[in-house]
C-alpha cells in the first residue's frame, strides 16, 4: 500500500518540484497540495494523507501552527517539517507534534527515506536540527547564562523598503534576511533570544563568536537590497522567563542605534574580550552618550581587516547621541 503524502508549501514551484520527485518514488503517492498550514489541516481532515510534508516558513499560518492543526484535524497523520534554516523553533516544532525536521538541502533520496520512516512511526531529524534540539533541552532555551555577549541587528529603512517594493515583495526580501541571519547564528553557535519585527536579539557565550557572527551577517548581506545595522555589548544578564533583562541588554540595544546600515559597532568591553582576531579590525569611533544611560561609552566599529585601509585615513566620528 502506498504512503499518501500531502505537500504544504507557499511556493507553487517548490510544491511542483516535490510532487514530480515524489511521484517517481515507489510506494509514495502525492494526494494533495496546500499553500499554508491552515489549508494543510483542512485538506488533511478532508482527505486521507498519511504524511504531511510541511514547510516551516509560510504566510498566515506557518509550519509549527500548521502541524498542531493537522494533528488536531487528523491525529493519525504524520508531519515532516522542511526548513531552509535551523533556529530555536526546533523544540516548538516537536512540541506541536512534528515527527521530523529536515533542512531543505537534504538529498532527495534521504527525503524519500524520511517520509517512509515517519510513516512507519520513526522520528527523523537532520543533524543540525537534532543538535539544536539537544541544546534547547539542555537548559532554559539553550541560551547562555551569566556573562553573555548580546548582538542586536536591525534593518535600516525597513518601512521605506516596504513602501517602495510593496508588501509581497518586501515580505519575501525580509524572509531572506531572516534566513541569512539565522544561518549565521547557527554557524557561530549562538542563540536567537527574540525577534521583534525586523530586529533580532542574539546571544553568545563568547565575544569572539559574537563578532564572527556579526561579520558573517554583514558579509552575507553585502550587495543585498537590505542594509543591516548591528550593535553588541558584553556583560551580565538576568533571565526573565524566556527573555533577558538588565543593563547589558540596554547598552547593546543603544549601541545598535548608533550604527548606520552595513555597520557593526561594539562596546569597549566586547572589543577587549574579543582580543586579537585574525582578519578583524576594530576602529575607534569615540565616546558617545547612550540614551537613558549615565556617562560616556566608547564605541568601536568592527570590520574585516581587508577593509581596514579604507578606514585608516578617516577622521574619528563626531560624537553623536543615540536617537
Regarding whether 146 and 121 lie in a shared domain, the answer is: no
Regarding whether 287 and 216 lie in a shared domain, the answer is: yes
251 Cβ contact partners less than 8 Å away, ≥ 6 residues apart? 233, 235, 267, 290, 293, 297
As for how many domains the chain has, the answer is 2
Residue 322 domain flag = no
26/28 Cα distance (integer angstroms)? 6
Q: Which of 103, 137, 171 is the last residue of a domain?
A: 137
Q: What integer best gives the mean pLDDT of the chain?
A: 86
Q: What is the pLDDT of residue 162?
A: 87
Q: Which of 137, 160, 177 is the last residue of a domain?
A: 137
Regarding whether 186 and 92 lie in a shared domain, the answer is: no
What's the gap between Cα 268 and its chain centre?
27
Regarding whether 173 and 61 lie in a shared domain, the answer is: no
The segments of the chain whose pLDDT lies below 50 read 140-141, 307-323
273 Cβ contact partners less than 8 Å away, ≥ 6 residues apart? 149, 206, 207, 208, 234
Q: What is the pLDDT of residue 312?
A: 38
Query: Which percentage of the chain shows pLDDT scores above 90?
Result: 50
pLDDT in tens, 4-45: 999 999 999 999 999 999 999 999 999 999 999 999 999 999
Q: What is the pLDDT of residue 134?
A: 64
CATH number at residue 176: 3.30.70.1230
Regarding whether 202 and 221 lie in a shared domain, the answer is: yes
Regarding whether 107 and 17 lie in a shared domain, the answer is: yes
Residue 131 domain flag = yes
Q: What is the pLDDT of residue 135?
A: 60
Regarding whether 263 and 190 lie in a shared domain, the answer is: yes
CATH number at residue 74: 3.40.50.2300
Regarding whether 283 and 157 lie in a shared domain, the answer is: yes
Residue 321 domain flag = no
Regarding whether 96 and 77 lie in a shared domain, the answer is: yes
Residue 302 domain flag = yes
Q: What is the pLDDT of residue 140?
A: 47
Q: What is the pLDDT of residue 114?
A: 93
Q: Which of 75, 105, 137 is the last residue of a domain?
A: 137
Residue 319 domain flag = no
Domain range for residue 61? 3-137
Q: What is the pLDDT of residue 49?
A: 92
Regarding whether 131 and 26 lie in a shared domain, the answer is: yes
Regarding whether 166 and 122 lie in a shared domain, the answer is: no
284/293 Cα distance (integer angstroms)? 20
Amino acid at each position: 500500500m502506498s504512503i499518501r503524502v500531502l505537500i504544504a508549501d507557499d511556493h507553487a514551484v517548490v510544491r511542483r518540484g516535490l510532487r514530480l520527485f515524489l511521484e517517481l518514488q515507489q510506494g509514495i503517492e502525492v494526494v494533495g497540495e496546500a499553500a499554508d498550514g491552515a489549508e494543510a489541516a483542512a485538506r488533511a481532515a478532508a482527505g486521507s494523507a498519511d504524511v504531511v510534508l510541511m514547510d516551516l516558513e509560510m504566510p498566515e499560518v506557518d509550519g509549527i501552527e500548521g502541524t498542531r492543526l493537522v494533528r488536531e484535524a487528523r491525529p493519525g497523520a504524520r508531519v515532516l517539517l522542511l526548513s531552509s534554516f535551523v533556529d530555536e523553533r526546533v523544540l516548538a516544532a516537536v512540541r506541536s507534534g512534528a515527527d521530523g525536521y529536515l533542512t531543505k538541502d537534504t538529498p532527495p533520496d534521504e527525503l524519500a527515506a524520511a517520509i517512509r520512516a515517519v510513516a512507519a512511526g520513526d522520528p527523523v531529524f537532520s543533524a543540525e536540527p537534532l543538535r539544536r534540539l539537544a541544546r534547547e533541552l539542555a537548559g532554559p532555551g539553550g541560551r547562555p547564562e551569566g556573562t553573555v555577549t548580546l548582538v542586536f541587528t536591525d534593518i535600516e529603512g525597513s518601512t521605506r523598503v516596504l513602501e517602495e517594493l510593496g508588501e509581497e515583495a518586501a515580505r519575501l526580501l525580509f524572509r531572506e534576511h531572516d534566513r541569512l541571519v539565522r544561518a549565521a547564528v547557527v554557524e557561530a553557535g549562538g542563540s536567537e533570544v527574540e525577534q521583534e519585527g525586523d530586529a533580532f536579539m542574539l546571544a553568545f557565550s563568547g565575544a569572539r563568536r559574537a563578532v564572527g557572527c556579526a561579520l558573517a551577517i554583514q558579509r552575507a548581506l553585502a550587495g543585498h537590497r537590505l542594509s543591516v545595522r548591528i550593535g553588541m555589548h558584553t556583560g551580565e544578564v538576568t533571565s526573565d522567563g524566556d527573555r533577558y533583562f538588565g543593563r547589558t541588554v540596554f547598552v547593546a540595544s543603544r549601541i545598535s542605534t548608533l550604527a548606520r546600515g552595513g555597520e557593526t559597532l561594539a562596546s569597549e568591553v566586547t572589543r577587549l574580550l574579543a582580543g586579537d582576531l585574525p582578519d578583524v579590525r576594530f576602529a575607534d569611533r569615540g565616546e558617545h552618550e547612550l540614551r537613558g544611560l549615565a556617562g560616556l561609552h566608547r564605541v568601536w566599529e568592527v570590520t574585516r581587516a581587508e577593509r581596514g585601509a579604507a578606514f585608516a585615513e578617516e577622521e574619528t566620528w563626531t560624537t553623536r547621541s543615540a536617537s
